Amino acid sequence: MTARTTRTIMSETSAIAPRAQALKMFDGPVTDESLRRFLEGIPGVDAVGLEQRAAALGTRSIKTTSKAWAIDTIISMIDLTTLEGADTPGKVRSLVGKALTPDPSDASCPRPAAVCVYGDMVGTVIDALGSAHGEISVAAVATAFPSGRATLSVKLADTAEAVAAGADEIDMVIDRGAFLSGRYRQVFDEIVSVKRACLREDGSAAHLKVILETGELTTYDNVRRASWLAILAGADFIKTSTGKVSPAATLPVTLLMLEVVRDWHRLTGEKIGVKPAGGIRTSKDAIKFLVTVAETCGEEWLSPELFRFGASSLLNDMLLQRQKLRTGHYSGPDYVTID
């Protein structure tokens, strides 16, 4: 692609209307100056207070009946994920089989919200889901996941191909280098452009999850600014991590992102989802996140439409805990599939 073509694309995307509320908030076009003034004017995060609040929420106890409900709710919020270079159609079909029947010994077990794969595997997931496609969504990572190091044209083609293949949801990554360099308008325009690439021919659109990769943003202040930026640009969900960078989803970072979503809802009435991804492997940890959601945004966020877990191994522990509540004893690891 020539430099002229790239400039033309950027010029065209600059004219795309971002989230309507952003225009109202800035009282006019979104510019580098207005974005910088807004984002850098956001009050700094009280790191000690944030971490203390997260720690306190993590100590809440859950009674047996509530725990049973929590386990089923968490299972229904999982994006069952495989994002490896060694993924094969057979491995993906096996993962879909697990999504369709998480616990063969108990037909009442809920299904996860989505199966998340690379874009070239979308068709395989759809074929394997059959009539269950709709109950279980198909999510695809895009925009040169996980690094985000590619030209805009490549990122848009990556997104458009996944949507054309039938993806219901797109998980994009922001350009962390641009964000950390203070090029907020570039990041904003890319999100707006990817949002447009999520449009289908029939006028509907795939939901857009924007991955901040919080482990590379370094500070809580940057996480807060990136969350606001993504929402202003049109994110349907804000997501912590790719799962490829450590630290991934931590409770304090997720709490901070939930606070941004709560504040946006109070300001505009719009509901934005949150997705922690990476490193959440046990029911004990997942329940802490569930409590944090309820205490921060309210119980209406306790649904797959507004909260997800990006995970591959979490489902196994949830199934073992669920079997324990049902039978009174723990099953061995051979009672669940090997991922």
Q: Is the dihedral of CA 222, 226, 228, 229 positive or negative?
A: positive
Single-letter amino acid code for the residue at 257: M
Q: Which residues are catalytic?
A: 171, 239, 275
CB-CB contact of 159 with 150 (8 Å): no
3-state secondary structure of 28: coil
User: What number of other Cβ atoms are within 10 A of residue 293's Cβ?
Assistant: 26
Per-residue model confidence (pLDDT) at position 229 = 97
Per-residue model confidence (pLDDT) at position 327 = 81
> 194 burial class (0-12, 13-18, 19+ CB within 10 angstroms)?
buried
CB-CB contact of 93 with 117 (8 Å): no
Alpha helices in the chain (DSSP H): 3-14, 20-26, 32-39, 47-57, 64-77, 89-100, 122-129, 152-165, 176-180, 184-197, 214-217, 220-233, 251-268, 283-296, 314-327
Q: How far is CA 13 from CA 142, 199, 210, in A?
A: 18, 14, 17
pLDDT by residue for the chain (339 residues), tens only, comes to 333 333 333 333 333 356 777 767 777 778 888 899 999 999 999 999 999 999 999 998 787 778 999 999 999 999 999 999 999 999 999 999 999 999 998 999 999 999 999 999 999 999 999 999 999 999 999 999 999 999 999 999 999 999 999 999 999 999 999 999 999 999 999 999 999 999 999 999 999 999 999 999 999 999 999 999 999 999 999 999 999 999 999 999 999 999 999 999 999 899 999 999 999 999 999 999 999 999 999 999 999 999 999 988 999 999 999 999 888 776 666 566 655
Per-residue model confidence (pLDDT) at position 4 = 32
Per-residue model confidence (pLDDT) at position 331 = 67
Find, among 220, 254, 244, the residue nearest to 312 by Cα: 244
Per-residue model confidence (pLDDT) at position 106 = 93
Domains of the chain: which residue ranges?
21-332
Beta strands 169-173 and 114-118, pairing class:
unpaired
Per-residue model confidence (pLDDT) at position 339 = 58
Find, among 156, 128, 126, 153, the residue nearest to 142 by Cα: 156
Distance CA(57)–CA(54), nearest Å, equals 5
Per-residue model confidence (pLDDT) at position 335 = 60
Distance CA(114)–CA(77), nearest Å, equals 8
Per-residue model confidence (pLDDT) at position 97 = 97
Assigned token pair, 37: 């003034």
Distance CA(210)–CA(232), nearest Å, equals 11
Distance CA(223)–CA(153), nearest Å, equals 26
CATH architecture of 21-332: Alpha-Beta Barrel (3.20)
